[in-house]
Each structure stands twice: as structure tokens, then as C-alpha cells.
């Protein structure tokens, strides 16, 4: 079958351009093999990363038809079936990953990716056991808890598609927090409390995740970074009792209000989360301009009516909470 590959090309600090290359290929041919043919047969200046060609190293991550994926894993037939099943001459668009500056063509600078991984200290700490009497052994059950996050190959696909990272340059990214949960769950590590304090920092840590699900959708190894971020949040909510941050209040208040009324009483939500029940004077003052605007536009509700089916909603939430508690035990 004949396929046109539209490749977004770019030199560092220069405007991007799109160049097209036509190939006669079999449906089972991988995108990486197609790029190799383009480079070897048509344009030797094309730049991209590759190594293992077997979904192990993560080097060939790029955007294929608008989503980040491994070029060695995706093939022509599946891409055509997904985006252009009826086209006489189908086109496949290939672009560099997002959230990272382009060095050349499909090669991006991953410095921030690695720096943010380092920021979460993704190493098991054994500082409290300087001279162990034996190896730090784990049971099969303890090790099984690490299997999913241990599958991460650091390809950068989740980081590339992360909306939170795009708008907040201080957010460490889903790849780092997935590794962070591995450290929290590792039975050999002795710094869980310190780690949870660190990952709880404002929107730089777990609370910066917008739960857009893109990281889960594009991960080629089914690590499910968003799920791991959620697990860290649950650990923080379970352990953080002395210092309740705004992020924690947000989560707890949201659940409590929905349990109470079926939906959110916005008056109570602002006062409890932002103003911390009148204990945070700065937060209370920050609500004043919004309150005035709502009053002048007659948008401030004077009362609150619970939603229909509030008992059903409350029952569902309590069932989920009971299930989570039972799972931890």
C-alpha cells in the first residue's frame, strides 16, 4: 500500500515545517521501519531517536497522528485503520513530542524530563540501616506491588501529553510521580513520610495533576501514571493529620459536601477550602472580590437545595470508601 508520511521538521530555535515522503509499505510495517527507509532511501538529513526497535528502551517516542507513542510499536495498518480507513492514499503525520524543546526534527531536549525525575528521589533509601545483617529481602507479595510502576521505560510519552505540565512548568510530571509511588510502596524504603511531605507540595507535586487521563491513554507499558498519582493522594489524605493543606481540604471538603447534599454547596466550599473555616484571613480576603461580583450579578445563592437521589449518592461514596479501606487492610 502507498502511504504519505507528513513529518514535522524543525531546526533548533527555528520555525517548523512539514515535509512529505511517499512509501510503498506493508500494513504490518512499523512506523520506525518507515522512518528508517525515508532516512536511508530519500532524505539522510532526517533526525530521530531509536535504539532497541523492540519496545524496551523508549528511545523512539514521538507524536504519531497527534498522540505520543513508540514508533517501533505502532504500525502502518493500525494507524491507517484508525485515522484514514477510506483514503485512496492515506497520510500519517509524525511530529516531535510536546512539553520539550526541539533540538532537530523529531529529537527533543529531555533535560526537564530527567531533572523532574531526579527531583522525586527515585531511589530506595536505606540510610537508617547502615550495616545490615542480611540483604533487604522482600516477600513475593511486597514485590508484586511494584510490578506495574516498575514497567516504566522512561519513554516520555506521558510527559509529552501532560496538560498540567503544559500550563504549570513547576509540575514534576506523571512519569516522576509514578516512580514516586514506587518508592512510597517499596517495603525497603525508610523515608515514606518525608516523601509524602515532598509530594504534597502545592501544585508542584500530586495536586498539580488535572486528571485528564492522557498519561494513562498513551503509556505503552500500561503503567497508568494517573492511577499511581491517585494512590499517593490517598496515602497523603490518610496520613496527613497535623497539617491540613488547602489541597487536602479541597479533596476532603468536596467529598463531604457531595455526601451531604448530592452536589457542592459553593458557599460552604469556598469558606471551608480557601478560608479554612475563617482561620485563613488571607484566603477569606481573597474571596471578597468574587463574592461582591456574584452579589452584584445576583449569582450568589442564598440557600441550598440538596439534589435528587442524595441518599443514593451518599451510599455510593460510602461503599467506595469502605472498599478502599478493606483493600488497604
Residue 255 has pLDDT above 50, yes or no: yes
Domain stop point among 40, 67, 101? 101
C-alpha to C-alpha distance for 136 and 273, rounded to whole angstroms: 42
Average pLDDT, the chain: 89
Residue 147 has pLDDT above 80, yes or no: yes
Does 135 share its domain with 219? yes
* Dihedral angle computed from the Cα positions of residues 164, 166, 169 and 173, in that order, rounded to the nearest 10 degrees: 50
Quick one: 77 and 125 in the same domain? no
- Same-domain status, 127 and 230: yes
Specify whether 198 is located in the same domain as 265. Answer: no
Residues 24 and 122 in one domain: no
Nearest CA-CA partner of 307 in 266, 251, 252, 260: 260
The CATH number for 6's domain is 3.10.20.30
- Please tell me whether residues 115 and 234 are part of one structural domain: yes
User: How many CA atoms, within 13 angstroms, populate the side-chain half-sphere of residue 257?
Assistant: 19
Give me the DSSP letters along 158-174: HHHH-HHHHH-TT---H
Does residue 234 share a domain with residue 136? Answer: yes
Rounded Cα distance, 33 and 82, in Å: 19
Which pLDDT score, from 0 to 100, does residue 290 have?
83
Is residue 232 domain-shared with residue 134, that is, in the same domain? yes
**Which of 188-202 are b and which e, b meaning 16 or more Cβ less than 10 Å from the residue's Cβ?**
ebebbeebbebbbee
The residue to which cell 493500525 is assigned: 78
Smallest Cα–Cα separation from 124: which of 181, 189, 177?
A: 189
The pLDDT assigned to 243 comes to 54
Q: How far is CA 226 from CA 25, 169, 327, in A?
A: 36, 18, 19
Instruction: Round to whole Å and give the CA distance between 150 and 138.
Output: 15
- Whether 145 shows a pLDDT value over 50: the answer reads yes
pTM over 0.85: no
Query: Of 328 and 169, which is predicted with more confidence?
Result: 169
In degrees and rounded to multiples of 5, residue 108 shows phi and psi of -115, 160
Q: Which of 37-51, 57-71, 242-256, 295-309 has the lowest mean pLDDT?
A: 242-256
CA distance 89 to 56: 32
Position 94 scores a pLDDT of 98
Q: What is the pLDDT of residue 130?
A: 64
Q: Give me the domain span that covers residue 296.
A: 246-328
Do 268 and 192 belong together in one domain?
Answer: no
- Give the burial class of 93: count Cβ atoms within 10 A of its Cβ; 0-12 exposed, 13-18 middle, 19 or more buried: middle
Per-residue confidence (pLDDT) for residue 228, from 0 to 100: 96
Candidate ranges 153-162, 185-194, 258-267; pick with highest mean pLDDT: 153-162
CATH number of the domain bearing residue 115: 1.10.1060.10
Selected residue with higher pLDDT from 76 and 203: 76
Both 293 and 226 in one domain: the answer is no
As for how many domains the chain has, the answer is 3
- The set of long-range contacts for 15-21, using a CB threshold of 8 Å and a minimum separation of 24, is 16/102, 19/43, 20/91
Same domain, 128 and 199: yes
d(C-alpha 116, C-alpha 236), whole Å: 20
**Hunting for cell 514535522 — which residue is that?**
8
Whether residue 129 is found in the same domain as residue 227: yes
201: CB partners within 8 A, 6+ apart: none
- Dihedral angle at the C-alpha atoms of 215, 221, 223, 225, nearest 10 degrees? -20
CA distance 283 to 137: 48
Residues 91-144 have pLDDT tens digits of 999 999 999 999 999 999 999 999 999 999 998 886 655 666 777 788 899 999
- Per the rule left: phi > 0, alpha: psi between -120 and 50, beta: everything else, 202 is left
Residue 47 is predicted with a pLDDT of 98
Phi, psi of 80 (to 5 degrees): -65, -40
Q: How far apart are CA 159 and CA 172, in angstroms?
A: 9
Structure confidence by residue, pLDDT tens digits, 200-243: 877 789 989 998 999 999 999 999 999 999 999 988 887 755 45
Number of C-alpha atoms within 13 angstroms, CB side, residue 35? 29
Share of the chain above pLDDT 70, in %: 95
Distance, in Å, from the CA atom of 134 to the CA atom of 16, rounded to the nearest integer, reads: 57
Task: Write out pLDDT tens, residues 174-211.
Answer: 999 999 999 999 988 888 888 988 898 777 899 899 98
Task: Identify the H or E element spanning 284.
Answer: helix 281-296
Q: In the listed set 79, 101, 123, which residue is the last one of a domain according to the structure?
A: 101
| Among 190, 207, 239, residue at a domain's last position | 239
Amino acid at each position: 500500500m502507498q502511504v504519505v508520511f507528513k513529518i514535522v521538521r524543525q531546526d533548533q530555535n527555528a520555525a517548523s515545517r512539514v515535509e512529505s515522503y511517499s512509501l510503498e509499505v506493508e500494513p504490518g510495517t512499523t512506523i520506525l521501519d518507515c522512518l528508517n527507509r525515508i532516512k536511508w532511501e530519500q532524505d539522510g538529513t532526517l533526525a530521530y531517536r531509536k535504539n532497541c526497535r523492540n519496545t524496551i528502551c523508549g528511545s523512539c517516542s514521538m507524536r504519531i497522528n497527534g498522540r505520543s507513542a513508540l514508533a517501533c510499536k505502532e504500525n502502518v495498518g493500525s494507524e491507517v485503520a484508525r485515522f484514514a480507513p477510506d483514503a485512496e492514499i492515506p497520510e500519517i503525520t509524525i511530529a516531535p513530542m510536546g512539553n520539550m524543546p526541539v533540538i532537530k526534527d523529531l529529537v527533543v531536549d529531555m533535560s526537564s524530563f530527567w531533572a523532574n525525575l531526579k527531583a522525586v528521589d527515585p531511589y530506595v533509601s536505606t540510610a537508617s540501616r547502615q550495616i545490615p545483617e542480611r540483604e533487604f529481602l522482600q516477600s513475593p507479595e511486597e514485590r508484586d506491588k511494584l510490578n506495574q510502576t516498575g514497567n516504566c521505560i522512561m519513554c516520555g510519552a506521558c510527559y509529552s501529553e501532560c496538560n498540567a505540565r503544559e500550563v504549570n512548568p513547576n509540575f514534576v510530571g506523571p512519569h516522576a510521580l509514578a516512580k514516586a509511588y514506587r518508592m512510597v510502596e517499596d517495603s525497603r524504603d525508610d523515608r515514606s513520610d518525608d516523601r509524602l511531605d515532598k509530594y504534597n507540595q502545592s501544585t508542584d507535586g500530586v495536586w498539580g495533576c488535572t486528571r485528564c487521563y492522557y498519561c494513562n491513554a498513551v503509556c505503552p507499558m500500561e503503567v497508568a501514571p494517573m492511577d499511581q498519582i491517585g494512590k499517593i493522594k490517598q496515602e497523603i489524605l490518610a496520613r496527613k493529620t497535623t497539617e491540613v493543606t488547602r489541597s487536602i481540604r479541597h479533596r476532603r471538603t468536596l467529598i463531604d459536601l457531595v455526601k451531604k447534599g448530592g452536589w457542592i454547596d459553593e458557599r460552604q466550599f469556598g469558606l471551608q477550602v480557601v478560608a479554612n473555616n475563617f482561620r485563613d484571613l488571607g484566603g477569606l480576603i481573597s474571596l471578597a472580590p468574587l463574592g461582591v461580583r456574584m452579589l452584584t450579578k445576583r449569582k450568589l445563592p442564598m440557600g441550598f437545595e440538596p439534589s435528587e437521589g442524595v441518599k443514593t449518592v451518599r451510599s455510593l461514596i460510602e461503599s467506595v470508601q469502605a472498599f478502599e479501606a478493606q483493600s488497604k487492610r
